[in-house]
Amino acid sequence: DAGVIQSPRHEVTEMGQEVTLRCKPISGHNSLFWYRQTMMRGLELLIYFNNNVPIDDSGMPEDRFSAKMPNASFSTLKIQPSEPRDSAVYFCASSDSNNYGYTFGSGTRLTVV
């Protein structure tokens, strides 16, 4: 099992550009979560999906952020336009139906200059 796979590992972009982060959950997991981690705020849940359907997006900071899960094996988090304050590490996690197999990916470190 390759675990939760995120890409890219690092992204540096200029303010105003569109950024797309990608996640492949563990096969068989039916829930997927996007988190943002900063030194100041720790881990924050942005949005999560059950069976590819967005359940709770209350953590999405503003309309510049959007997430999709077109199928059970792929999800994207998009920021458009990006701003320097979006700089953080973004984690994707997936879990099975009983929530016991909760596993994080290695994260994408985003720097917006």
Partner 1 sequence: KNQVEQSPQSLIILEGKNCTLQCNYTVSPFSNLRWYKQDTGRGPVSLTIMTFSENTKSNGRYTATLDADTKQSSLHITASQLSDSASYICVVTATGFQKLVFGTGTRLLVSP
Return residues touching partner 1 (CB under 8 A): 4, 31, 42-43, 45, 48, 50, 55-56, 91, 93, 95, 99-100, 102-107, 109
74 vs 102, beta carbon nearer partner 1: 102
Q: How far is the CB of 27 from partner 1 (least distance, A)?
A: 18
Which is closer to partner 1, CB of 38 or CB of 80? 38
| Residue 78, CA atoms < 13 Å, CB-side half-sphere | 11
Instruction: Say how far apart CA 59 and CA 74 lie, in whole Å.
Output: 20
What gap in Å lies between CA 99 and CA 88, rounded to an integer? 26
Q: How far is the CB of 105 from partner 1 (least distance, A)?
A: 5
Residue written as token pair 């998009």: 78
